[in-house]
Structure 1
Amino acid sequence: MKLKILQISPQVPVPPVDGGKISIFGLLKALAERGHSIDFFCYRKHSDYNYSYNELSKFCNPRIIDVQTDNNVFKAFVNLFKKLPYNVSKFIRPEMWYAIKEYLKDNNPDIVHIDHIHMSWLIDHLRNVIDKPIVLREHNFESDIIYRYYLNQRNPISRMYFLKQYQRLLKFETTYAEKFDRVVMISDVDELKILKFNNNIKTTIIPAGVDNNLFQIKAYNHNKIPFSLFHIGDLEWKPNLDGLQWFVDEILPLIVKNFPKTQLFVYGKNTEKLIIPSELKKNVVKSGFVLNLWNELLDKQIGIVPLRIGSGIRIKVLELLAQGHLVVSTEIGKEGIPIVDRKHYLNANKPETFVEKISNVFKDFNDYKTICFNAQEFIKQNYAWSNVAEKFESLYVKLINNK
């Protein structure tokens, strides 16, 4: 059964260089490769229109709405006196609904797929004009991210602000999620969390995926730079910056004390946001955005995921494990991925544990190759995009037949 799918996203997912974009684009591409027709609506933000349109056109019919949704300090302050959470209100734009409404005059999709709770406001409009199943893809339980961010604030004014935002977002997220025919959670952890607040939400679990080509990379078989660490992620996303800054401030100095030649390579956008203490400048390399990231990582020993804030699944963790990299992660960093400490990765939540486990790897990397192999095999069996797309397809067909 070939479907006509209307997919709505808060951002252009190309190039797929961060977890959010990878999760949206990976499914889009995999569904298209299964023969489905996809009409894809998204906000342009700061992406290059021509590039984005051309890349998306390979897999769908793109409609890119020329709207920016950047954070704005003044609007964030004004939001204190409004009912909606700020990180939802900035995505409520009449330009998006106008474009969709015009599209629906000449098109009749079989199903509507909305990415992220930020775009869920559209369901009220859609219900008035079409009688089709509408699915919400929750890439994270967003309220939990804000709650964890609130817990990590030391400034009392910031704590008050984020507590208020958390309360508003929790109410919005759990209320709007109930309106959908199905809410697709990315992990069992997130499903339990959202149902705790509203067990009327109709949920199912389908994880994110990884590209099959990554399984061809055997990172553990490559020669490694001794005492090398790496971190990947856009530091514009506050949980990434928070975790990496914590690692640099509290953990890296202890590692360097024992291994002075340690080097931490930082990949991704906005690396200028990371503050490096003067005594560690020779130990940190801000590589920034690179075109061929996977080749860059082959000679690095350990990928670090020091997240203290977050929800959902870290797509980059899946991708690193799929390639056979050794990963040291906090519990939050690997949340939603049922991998086992010392079998698929190394778990560390405190500075002293990070230091211990990284130091042991530095002493003899070869002892850890089996962990890398086990992780790659586990991801291969459970997270290939082809399998994920098949699960979404089955869900769509079931909802359509039951409508």
Structure 2
Amino acid sequence: MYALIREVAKAHEVTILSLAGPGDDPALTERELGTTIAVRVPWTGRQPPSAAKRLGQLRALFSPRSAQHRQMIHPALQSALDRLLREQPVDLVHFEFSLTALYRLPSDLPVVLDVHNVEHDLVRQIGRHGSVIRRWFNGIEWRKLRRDEIEAWRRASLCLATSVADSQVIEAATGRTAIVIPNGIDLERVPRRPLTLGRPERLVFVGTLRYWPNAEGVRFFVSRVLPLLRNKIPDVEFVAVGADPPAELAAMARAAGVRLVGRVPDPQPWLERAGIVVVPLLSGGGTRLKILEAFAAGRPVVSTRLGAAGLEVEDGVHLLLADSPEEFAQAVTRLVESPQLRESLVENAWRLVNQRYRWTTIGQRLLDTYDRLISGPRPGDERVEAAVHTD
């Protein structure tokens, strides 16, 4: 979101309207990106699970709406949005995350909705795992969320997806074209570093660990893949970098050769020290920024096919793909044992992100989409104000 707002702000005047939870700093957003209107709330998706979240989930059980609707559709933000529209001319509203398009707007105002993920399908996948209570809750939640998401998609003038697969789901539900605006990378922020800075045997995973698919992937890797690797590479080391790991992962990190790192200000030093980046995801949606960051940093990647879904990558050319524990361990071993393969993957992957996944290129695609939606700039007025909701 930061990168896309920054690219749009190069051409137009942008006003950011956002929920802000404990610890969020709207002043920082305003310094980095421009005018920001923050609505303070007790909890957002950026904060770790809390009593406020659990209470909201409990109350949602007695509502026809999903728990995510309760979290994201806040009366105070609706009031701030109404006031913004009264006080200044707005040519287009861009919402982030599906449910935000359920905020009320004038019917003649163009609305772009960036879907990020098909959230109800993600909750459905998560609902297959965990405790009985978690499975029961998510079994109810994903069905409510599906109704909410489809309603939001249909309200928007245009939906954006990060992958072709997600765009097809949206198109099937709405009967309208969804535009693919992929995730991208800032090659200046994530510079390529020599492979010699990291040991080939050091495997790194980067991702928020309170996010279920990430935690699930780390559990799978430590319990199913790492034991196979130790038989072939005794000094293999696995490092998981990410905020708010659940207690069970902390317990697994006591095993030899496993290190669990919590929230870090910048993952780049960890990527620099990595010999290989692993993405052992078994569930999820959208596309993985973690793979693009590894490509940009010059690190070879082993991923499940689902982990690399939505990216224009080729197995054996840009990365290695493996799904079973045995295949994953074999792919990692190949990379550890072959400096030539590591260098080849790194070179091809860096060329791919440079050509297709730079934010400047993706941002221009978004600007072109805006122009088509509002039929070009209005005579005598080059401003396009966008009210952008982030969490």
TM-score normalised by structure 2 residue count: 0.88
Query: Match of 1:142?
Result: 119
TM-superposition CA deviations, 1:86-108 (whole Å, max 9, x none): 12222121110111112222111
Q: Does 1:88 align with 2:62?
A: no
With over 3 angstroms needed to count, the CA separation of the structure-2 counterparts of 1:87 and 1:29, relative to structure 1, is: same
Q: Whole-Å Cα distance in 1 between the matches of residues 206 and 342 of structure 2?
A: 21
- Alignment equivalent of 2:98, drawn from 99, 117, 127: 117
Q: Does 1:382 align with 2:382?
A: no
Unaligned runs of 5+ in 2: 379-391
Tell whether the 8 Å contact from 1:215 to 1:322 is kept in structure 2 after alignment. yes
Which residue of the other structure, out of 93, 98, 117, is the alignment partner of 2:79? 98
Q: SS where residue 204 of structure 1 aligns?
A: strand
* Deviation per residue, 1:55-94 (Å, 9 max, x gap): 4333220111111335522332332222111122221211
Alpha-carbon distance in structure 2 between the residues aligned to 1:292 and 1:113? 28
Deviation string 1:151-171 (CA, Å, 9 cap, x unpaired) is 3x2655433322221211112
Counterpart of 2:58 in structure 1 is 77
Quick one: distance in 2 between partners of 1:289 and 1:150? 26
Call closer, same or farther: CA 1:228–1:281 in 2, change over 3 Å. Answer: same
Deviations 1:166-203 (A, max 9, x none): 2111122112201111001111111112223x142441
- Distance in 2, matches of 1:302 and 1:212, equals 19
Moved more, 178-187 or 258-267: 258-267
**Superposed structure 1 runs of 4+ greater than 6 Å apart:** none
Please state if 1:180 is matched with 2:156: yes
Deviation digits for residues 369-403 of structure 1 (CA, Å, limit 9, x no counterpart): 10111011111111111111111111111111289
Q: Structure 1: how far apart are the matches of 2:200 and 2:354?
A: 28
User: Is 1:296 matched up with 2:273?
Assistant: no
Q: Deviations over 1:23-69 (max 9, x none)?
A: x111011222x2321100111112343xx413433322011111133
Provide the residue aligned with 1:358 in structure 2: 332
Return the letter of the residue paired with 2:112: V
Q: Which has the higher contact order (CA 8 A, sep 6+)?
A: 2
Kindly tell me the number of residue pairs found equivalent between the two proteins: 370
> Residues 345-392 of structure 1, C-alpha deviation per residue, up to 9 Å, x if partnerless?
111111111111111222233332101110111111111111111111
Change (3 A) 1:89 1:290: closer
Query: 1:224/1:279 Cα in 2 relative to 1: closer, same or farther (>3 Å)?
Result: closer
Partner Cα separation in structure 2 for residue 212 and residue 279 of structure 1? 32
Given that residues 235 and 273 in structure 1 are in contact (C-alpha distance below 8 angstroms), is that contact kept between their aligned partners in structure 2? no
Task: Compute the RMSD of aligned alpha carbons.
Answer: 2.2
Q: CA deviation at 1:219?
A: 4.2
- Partners of 2:102 and 2:318 lie apart in 1 by 39
Q: Which runs of 5+ in 1 are unaligned?
A: 1-23
Change (3 A) 1:53 1:274: farther
Aligned to 1:28: 5
Where does residue 168 of structure 1 map in the other structure? 144
Partners of 1:272 and 1:158 lie apart in 2 by 15
State how far apart, in whole Å, the 2-side matches of 1:179 and 1:30 are. 25
Contact 1:231 1:305 in 2 (8 A): yes
| 1:244-269: CA deviation from partner (whole Å, max 9, x where unpaired) | 11211221122123322111112121
**Equivalent residue of 1:286, what SS?**
strand
Return the TM-score normalized by structure 1: 0.86
Superposition deviation, residue 120 in structure 1: 1.8
AA aligned to 1:145 is: L
Output the amino acid matched with 1:227.
E
User: For residue 4 of structure 1, what is the aligned residue in structure 2?
Assistant: none
**Matching residue of 2:239:** 265
1:229-284 deviations in whole A, cap 9, x for unaligned?
A: 00111111111111111211221122123322111112121246452567953311
Q: Distance in 2 between matches of 1:199 and 1:291?
A: 40
Partner residue of 2:213? 239
Contact in 2 for aligned 1:253/1:280 (Cα 8 Å): no
Q: Is residue 212 of structure 1 aligned with residue 210 of structure 2?
A: no
2: distance between equivalents of 1:150 and 1:364? 40
SS in 2 for 1:246: helix
Q: Which residues of 2 match residues 30-49 of structure 1 at below 5 A?
A: 30-32=7-9, 34-49=10-25
The residue identity in structure 1 corresponding to 2:89 is N
Letter in 2 for 1:336: G
Identity %, equivalent residues = 23
Structure 2 vs 1, CA of residues 81 and 292 (structure 1 numbering), >3 Å: closer, same or farther? closer
User: Match for 1:191 among 159, 162, 167?
Assistant: 167
Equivalent positions of 1:330-341 (< 5 A) are 330-341=304-315
Letter of the 2:12 partner, please give it.
H
1:27–1:278 Cα change, 3 Å: closer
Letter in 2 for 1:239: P
Asked if the contact 1:251–1:355 (Cα under 8 Å) also holds between the matched residues in 2, the reply is yes
Residue in structure 1 matched with residue 224 of structure 2 by the alignment: 250
